[in-house]
Chain A
Amino acid sequence: MPKDKLRLLLMVSLSITLLATIAAYGYMSIILNKVNIGSSVVIILPLLVILFMAFFITRKYKDVKRGMPLEDEYSKKVMLKASSVSYYLTLYWLLFIGWFEEPIANLVGLQNLDAGQTTGLGIAGMAVFFFFFWFYYSKKPNLA
């Protein structure tokens, strides 16, 4: 299934791009002597996303190699359910970040979070929610 392989390749490329960006950010933080808890969080959270991607891609790669489709009606349902629930929860997560921005910033040794850090925290939260619910729904049948 060349289409499935192409999609898998695209996922790998995206993960590598993200990894390269984090590496560049980390390197620049060290060069500019800006390593603190805040910048570490900005690096660690996307790394979690990459870990999830690696797990996801390995699983999919094994399936494609065995001649299975990359996705079917059940896995699409799981994706849809996990995406919708994580999107819904992310709205509350963003509200939480908005309301408790200062305590969160203090927690990581900063006075305030800048726009990039806030966005990163929001996206990372969404990724964590998605991973959790994707895993939960892939093991739980009877999806409505």
Chain B
Amino acid sequence: MRNKIKELRTKYNLTQEDLAKKVGVRRETIIFLEQGKYNPSLQLAHDVAKTLKTNLDELFIFD
């Protein structure tokens, strides 16, 4: 599953640590999320999408 987290995070000038703090997770989780190596829970996916002012369909690309 690919995603646009890095792209949108950069757009809003957020560091991985900033995003991690905003959604209440550790930085490693954001790193793995951006690399598409970790499938988040629905709650975390929702929180990330909300923080990056987008929706789940836009943020995650299901191959």
Contact = CB atoms under 8 A, between A and B. Distances in A.
Contacts of B40: 73
Size category of the binding interface on chain B = 10 to 19
B35 A69 contact: no
A73 B35 contact: no
A143 B39 CA distance: 9
A68 B20 CA distance: 8
Where chain A touches its partner, the secondary structure class is loop
Interface string A63-93: 1001111011111000000000000000000
A72 B29 contact: yes
Interface string B29-52: 100100101101100100000000
B27 A141 contact: no
Interface residues of A, number: 14
Nearest to B37: A141
A33 interface: no
Contacts of A68: 17, 20-21, 26-27
